[in-house]
């Protein structure tokens, strides 16, 4: 099968041109067509001679993922994409005062099996290729006629379970001649695949790391997130600490607020004790209830008390602003409703 041109880092494209006996600066020209001029038709790469364009067309496609469905609210848009093999994934766009952000998916389904997560119920079908992540951004920018300034890898899938493609994706969007998303504007969220966190610290692009913790002790976390039986809170904490050392980037601890499950004051105290003195901040996420699962969202009062307790105990904490409740913006819900049909 032909490779997709959006799947290559500039380095890989340089190597390709060298292999076919051409100058490697052609990679830069191709990148300018793809990412600056947004030209999808290789025939229109007018500063590249026809012979090479023909060769490019033989070796690559520029096929795009397709918009299947779109749901819109004022400050948030949600896209359901159809992939070439008729699988579906989602992306969500949020408008902030500081710019537009996109939440991209990294896999079709997910194998991590978090009990409260809609995507976790639907087993992983396959990894996304880098181009399928790049194209989520390009397609949305085209459709809404906007530029996206920050990217969170927090949609369907466990990104660190698709490591090589994720790194390629990050390199492509971070490239100074590509979409030019700065490392500080890229955030990867993981359930805690510890060995891959160490690898991520060393890719040379210092992105923000978010850890889905969701529990304040191992017993509770293992019940909610099977991954904790393999990498417990202790080893995860060590990995976070090392990530902070290597990258000097602040790490976010995500904590989804589940009614009567993990939202007691005792949980907040435990959490504060765990991370006291570390350069992290906790993001409390009001749970998005989903039809198929029994978990409920914590009450506003409980969330506020939890927040106050963390604060009083020296932890930086925010409550996630809500965007998508009315449009099924929670991870995997749109894809889930598509599959149920």
Choosing from 103, 114, 117, 331, which is the catalytic residue? 331
Residue 254 binds ligand SAH (CB under 6 A): yes
Q: Is 114 a catalytic residue?
A: no
Give the CA angle between residues 22, 24, 30 to the nearest 5°: 95
Choosing from 68, 74, 90, 270, which is the catalytic residue? 90
- State whether residue 91 is helix, strand or coil: strand
Residue 154 binds ligand SAH (CB under 6 A): yes
Assess contact for 255 and 296: CB atoms under 8 A: no
Pick the stretch among 63-71, 112-120, 231-239, 302-310 that binds ligand SAH (CB under 6 A).
112-120
Residue 309 binds ligand SAH (CB under 6 A): no
Pick the stretch among 2-10, 236-244, 245-253, 285-293 that binds ligand SAH (CB under 6 A).
285-293
Alpha helices in the chain, H assignment, sequence order: 10-19, 26-31, 50-59, 118-121, 130-144, 163-174, 194-201, 218-224, 233-247, 265-275, 300-312, 333-340
Would you give the distance in Å from CA 156 to the centre of its chain?
A: 8
Residue 285 binds ligand SAH (CB under 6 A): yes
Residue 158 binds ligand SAH (CB under 6 A): yes
Residue 284 binds ligand SAH (CB under 6 A): no
Residue 191 binds ligand SAH (CB under 6 A): yes
Q: What are the residues whose beta carbons fall under 8 Å from the beta carbon of 99, sequence distance 6 or more?
A: 147, 148, 149, 150
Pick the stretch among 38-46, 87-95, 186-194, 261-269 that binds ligand SAH (CB under 6 A).
186-194
Pairing of strands 88-96, 99-104: antiparallel
Alpha helices in 145-262, H assignment, sequence order: 163-174, 194-201, 218-224, 233-247
Residue 190 binds ligand SAH (CB under 6 A): yes
Residue 287 binds ligand SAH (CB under 6 A): yes
Residue 290 binds ligand SAH (CB under 6 A): yes
Residue 303 binds ligand SAH (CB under 6 A): no
C-alpha distance from residue 333 to each of 113, 134, 224, 289, 292 (Å): 15, 22, 19, 10, 10
Give the closest residue to 328 by CA, choosing from 70, 86, 68, 65. Answer: 70
Rg over alpha carbons for the chain, rounded to the nearest Å, is 21
Would you give the distance in Å from CA 283 to the centre of its chain?
A: 16
Q: Which of 5, 137, 194, 256 binds ligand SAH (CB under 6 A)?
A: 256
Residue 212 binds ligand SAH (CB under 6 A): yes
Residue 151 binds ligand SAH (CB under 6 A): no
Pick the stretch among 19-27, 215-223, 240-248, 282-290 that binds ligand SAH (CB under 6 A).
282-290
Q: 114 vs 201, which CB is nearer to ligand SAH?
A: 114
Q: Is 322 a catalytic residue?
A: no
Q: Which of 8, 13, 114, 268 binds ligand SAH (CB under 6 A)?
A: 114
Pick the stretch among 44-52, 88-96, 111-119, 233-241 that binds ligand SAH (CB under 6 A).
111-119
Residue 263 binds ligand SAH (CB under 6 A): no
Residue 101 binds ligand SAH (CB under 6 A): no
Q: 194 vs 285, which CB is nearer to ligand SAH?
A: 285
How many other CB atoms are there within 10 angstroms of residue 252's CB atom? 20
The Cα–Cα gap between 199 and 203 comes to 7
Q: What are the residues whose beta carbons fall under 8 Å from the beta carbon of 311, sequence distance 6 or more?
A: 317
Catalytic machinery residues: 90, 331
Give contact residues for ligand SAH (rule: CB under 6 A): 112, 114, 116-118, 154, 158, 189-191, 212, 214, 254, 256, 285, 287-288, 290, 330-331
């Amino acid at each position: 099968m032909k490779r997709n041109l959006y799947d290559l880092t500039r380095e890989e494209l340089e190597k390709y041109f060298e292999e076919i006996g051409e100058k490697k600066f052609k990679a830069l020209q191709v990148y300018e067509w793809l990412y600056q001029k947004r030209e999808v038709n290789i025939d229109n790469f007018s500063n590249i001679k026809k012979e090479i364009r023909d060769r490019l067309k033989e070796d690559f496609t520029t096929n795009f993922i397709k918009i299947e469905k779109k749901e819109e609210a004022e400050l948030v848009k949600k896209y359901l994409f159809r992939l070439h093999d008729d699988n579906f994934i989602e992306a969500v766009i949020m408008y902030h005062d500081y710019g537009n952000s996109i939440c991209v998916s990294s896999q079709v389904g997910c194998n991590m099996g978090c009990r409260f997560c809609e995507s976790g119920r639907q087993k992983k079908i396959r990894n996304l290729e880098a181009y399928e992540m790049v194209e989520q951004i390009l397609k949305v920018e085209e459709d809404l006629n906007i530029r996206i300034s920050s990217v969170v890898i927090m949609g369907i899938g466990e990104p660190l379970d698709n490591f090589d493609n994720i790194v390629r994706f990050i390199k492509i969007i971070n490239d100074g001649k590509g979409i030019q998303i700065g490392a500080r504007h890229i955030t990867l969220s993981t359930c805690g695949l510890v060995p891959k966190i160490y690898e991520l610290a060393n890719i040379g692009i210092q992105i923000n790391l978010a850890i889905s913790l969701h529990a304040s002790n191992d017993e509770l976390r293992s019940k909610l997130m099977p991954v904790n039986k393999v990498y417990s809170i202790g080893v995860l904490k060590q990995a976070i600490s090392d990530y902070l050392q290597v990258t000097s980037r602040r790490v976010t601890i995500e904590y989804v607020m589940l009614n009567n499950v993990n939202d007691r004051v005792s949980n907040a105290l435990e959490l504060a004790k765990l991370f006291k003195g570390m350069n992290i901040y906790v993001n409390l996420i009001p749970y998005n209830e989903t039809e198929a699962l029994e978990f409920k969202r914590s009450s506003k009062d409980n969330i506020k008390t939890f927040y106050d307790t963390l604060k009083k105990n020296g932890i930086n904490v925010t409550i996630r602003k809500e965007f998508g409740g009315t449009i099924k913006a929670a991870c995997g819900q749109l894809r889930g409703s598509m599959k149920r049909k």
